[in-house]
Amino acid sequence: MPGEEKPGPDREVARRYAEFRDVDKGPRPYFDDDLSPAFYVNGKRYEGKLEDYDPEFEFPLAEDEEDETWEPHEVCGDRIADDGFPELLVNHGGHGIDEILDVIDQLSAAGIPACVVGVRALRYYGAGRLTDEWDLCVPDGKLEAARQLVLSAETNGDSKYEVARPPYPVPGSLRHTFPCFRLKGYNFWFILTPSSDCFVDPSQPDHVERSKNGVPYASLVQFARSVLVQKLWADISDFIDGMDLDVEWGERNIGFDSLQKESEEFARLRDERLKSHKCDGGFSPHDMGRIWREEASSEAKERRIEPMKKGRYLTRWRRIKSPEDPRTKDRPV
């Protein structure tokens, strides 16, 4: 398509900085329009590499850059919690399985279906990504009810969850505008995401599958459709590599003709919402089939394997000695 955006080597920078475990909620990833890496420390934006971060030393501001202090986003007008309890963990070695199941069970009891999307879903499908947050997809029409339910949840007469500061904005994304919460006193965060934004409907049985621990995730096929429609380049390739999918799998399961039509409406709505929230980055449709064929080709999968892994890995995330489906393993997902 004329003028469509094409993934390439310049997008690969998103891999290294896609997710970074916070140090007392210190650096959090942010990308400028050209995807040059930057991060925030103590509410101030700095340019540089996250692996160079030292909590005892604050990097100087970039040349000619103004002091840009973090301002709380207006998350439904609720109080923003103070972030950071580095000494406190959650169950399952800090992975939050019990905690997210508790949230999902509370929503389900109120008739609100939900499933996990985003980086946590990528981990379920075998990608080696890190995050402290859970993206929880709920139907658009029940998003406000879900928010109110979370705010009203109590433990021993005290509120169970706090409104947390949202993630920092990323061009083309509305994620920072959605309700974000933290379990009081614990390093456990989750974001309520409307189904229309992630192209997954948890009320449809074929859009959801459960892990061995009982956590509902966006199903394999629908998650593939979701990351394609959203143009999440790093997620597409990580998803393919995690599940060791190929071109033929996509042609059999994704339904590119129908997805192409649906993606045009999705792109139109996303672009309108970005403009209404005055967010950076436009959104336009692209050729789904071509993107999948490029990213799922044998050559592309081989190219993404790091040099030290050559000969030992089938894909970037799949070892030759462990070729089984990652969903069948006993893992904290």
List of residues 6+ apart from 41 with CB closer than 8 A: 26, 27, 53, 58, 59
For the cut 90, the answer to whether the pLDDT of residue 224 exceeds it is yes
Q: Where is average pLDDT lowest: 99-113, 173-187, 236-250? A: 173-187
For the cut 80, the answer to whether the pLDDT of residue 150 exceeds it is yes
Greatest CA separation found in the chain? 59
Residue 277: the pLDDT is: 86
For the cut 80, the answer to whether the pLDDT of residue 111 exceeds it is yes
Residue-wise pLDDT for 1-59, tens only, equals 444 444 443 343 334 334 333 333 333 443 333 334 444 444 444 444 444 444 333 33
For the cut 90, the answer to whether the pLDDT of residue 164 exceeds it is yes
Higher pLDDT among residues 44 and 173, named by residue: 173
Residue 156: the pLDDT is: 78
Looking at the chain, the whole-number percentage of residues with pLDDT higher than 90 is 59
Q: CB of 97 within 8 A of CB of 70?
A: no
Strands 216-218 and 133-138: unpaired
Cα(93)–Cα(227) distance, integer angstroms: 28
When pLDDT is averaged across residues 275-280 and rounded to a whole number, the result is 83
Cα(271)–Cα(120) distance, integer angstroms: 25
Residue 138: the pLDDT is: 98
The pTM score is 0.74
For the cut 60, the answer to whether the pLDDT of residue 263 exceeds it is yes
Residue 292: the pLDDT is: 97
| Domain assignments of the chain as residue spans, ordered by start | 73-328
Residue 236: the pLDDT is: 97
For the cut 60, the answer to whether the pLDDT of residue 322 exceeds it is yes
Q: What is the per-residue burial (b if ≥16 Cβ within 10 Å, else e) of 213-225?
A: bebbbbbbbbbbb
CATH topology of domain 73-328: Beta Polymerase; domain 2 (3.30.460)
Query: Per DSSP, what are the bridge partners of residue 136?
Result: 116, 192
Confidence of residue 89 (pLDDT cuts 50, 70, 90): low
Residue 136: the pLDDT is: 98
Residue 51: the pLDDT is: 43
Confidence of residue 279 (pLDDT cuts 50, 70, 90): confident
DSSP annotation string for 78-111: PPPPPP--TT---HHHHT-HHHHHHHHHHHHHTT
Neighbouring C-beta atoms of residue 183, cutoff 10 Å = 23
Cα(238)–Cα(227) distance, integer angstroms: 10
List of residues 6+ apart from 177 with CB closer than 8 A: 73, 166, 277, 279
When pLDDT is averaged across residues 260-287 and rounded to a whole number, the result is 85
The total number of residues shown for the chain amounts to: 333
With 0-12 / 13-18 / 19 or more C-beta atoms within 10 angstroms meaning exposed / middle / buried, residue 16 is middle
